[in-house]
């Protein structure tokens, strides 16, 4: 009698373990809101003010760097201590017109964006 009980428990365990391991999530379902690197920099009504939403990024930022088209660093801001739900305002009006590169740096990688201000 006890063998029948142990045997049925053992079969139930193997069936449940097999079904649990056969359900694998795809990578798309695990990323928050399906965010890509292209969705990290927004502009408001003004073309010279950009917003960086830290929640939309898959990494914790350590620095934001702004360079002109010659590669000269115009702005370097340490943002590691800011909360992960920060919306950072990047005002380019003081730099005039031209092409700029924004680097969003973390300890593990860099996202680079090119911005043209007219």
Indicate whether 114 pLDDT > 80: yes
DSSP state of 57: S
Contact criterion met (CB below 8 Å) for 111 and 37: yes
pLDDT at residue 15, rounded to an integer: 64
Domain annotation covers residue 23:
no
47-78: per-residue pLDDT in tens? 788 999 988 888 889 999 999 999 999 999 99
Using alpha carbons only, give the angle 97, 69, 60 rounded to the nearest 5 degrees: 100
Residue 13 banded pLDDT, cuts 50, 70, 90:
low
pLDDT at residue 69, rounded to an integer: 92
Number of compact structural domains in the chain? 1
Structural domain including 71 reads 33-117
Domain annotation covers residue 2:
no
pLDDT at residue 35, rounded to an integer: 35
Domain annotation covers residue 11:
no
pLDDT average, residue stretch 11-22? 58
Report the CATH number that the domain containing residue 92 is assigned in CATH: 2.60.40.3080
Domain annotation covers residue 21:
no
Indicate whether 24 pLDDT > 80: no
pLDDT at residue 21, rounded to an integer: 47
pTM of the model: 0.64
27-45: per-residue pLDDT in tens? 333 223 333 445 677 777 7
Contact criterion met (CB below 8 Å) for 53 and 114: no
């Amino acid at each position: 009698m006890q063998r029948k009980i142990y045997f049925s428990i053992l079969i139930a365990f193997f069936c449940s373990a097999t079904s649990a391991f056969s359900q694998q999530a795809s990578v798309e379902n695990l990323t928050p809101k399906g965010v890509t690197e292209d969705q990290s920099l927004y502009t408001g009504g003004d073309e010279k003010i950009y917003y960086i939403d830290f929640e939309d990024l898959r990494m914790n930022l350590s620095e934001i760097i702004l360079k002109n088209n010659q590669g000269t660093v115009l702005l370097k801001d340490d943002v590691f201590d800011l909360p992960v739900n920060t919306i950072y305002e990047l005002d380019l009006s003081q730099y005039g017109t031209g092409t700029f590169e924004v680097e969003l740096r973390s300890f593990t990688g860099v996202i680079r964006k090119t911005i043209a201000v007219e």
